[in-house]
Amino acid sequence: MQGGHSEVTSGEVTKEKVGCLLCAQQFDVMEMQDDLLRHLLLQHKLVIADVKLVAHFKKYLDYWRQRFKDAAITEFCSVIKTNTKETDVEPEESYYLLCDALPEDKNLRVRLQQEKLHFDGSSVYVRILAAAPKKTLQFTMSLL
Ligand SMILES: [Zn+2]
């Protein structure tokens, strides 16, 4: 008798939409991240490396959507060629890898990570306080 996903539909966060980096298609940012990644791979041959480590996926996408308007995808992505051996029957294909080997991507990931830490700061703080000895607790509270 569990409700499953359907009960978690209230609240604005779950309804937030995010557009594809390279076309007009929209995806639900919370529930359809995998669909978006699949879409990027199949439609645009774009792979985002270590996507689980991106602290704020929507902001990450917003950033790159703007950048991809200004310049070709090959300016930012490593190109991976498949089926390059002579024995390969399938035609050669190029995939684009967006990863933190690019300094701009690395900087963005670090910045989003820091923003997230800042944003979640209060709950992190509570956890630290709860775990702290009493003396430390009084000290840190006077800083607030
Ligand atoms: Zn697209």
pLDDT at 118: 67
CA of 35 to the centre of ligand 1 (A): 11
Span 118-130, pLDDT tens digits: 655 554 444 445 4
Span 49-86, pLDDT tens digits: 988 888 888 899 999 999 999 899 999 998 888 888 88
Mean pLDDT computed over 90-118: 89
Span 5-57, pLDDT tens digits: 444 444 444 567 888 999 999 988 777 788 899 899 999 999 999 888 888 88
Band (4; pLDDT cuts 50, 70, 90):
very low
CA of 36 to the centre of ligand 1 (A): 8
Residue 96 pairs in a beta bridge with 46, 79
pTM: 0.68
CA of 15 to the centre of ligand 1 (A): 19
Backbone angles phi, psi at 65, to 5 degrees: -60, -45
CA of 1 to the centre of ligand 1 (A): 38
Residue 75 CB partners (closer than 8 Å, separation 6+): none
Task: Classify 50 in phi/psi space as left (phi over 0), alpha (psi -120 to 50) or beta.
Answer: left
CA of 28 to the centre of ligand 1 (A): 14
CA of 62 to the centre of ligand 1 (A): 13
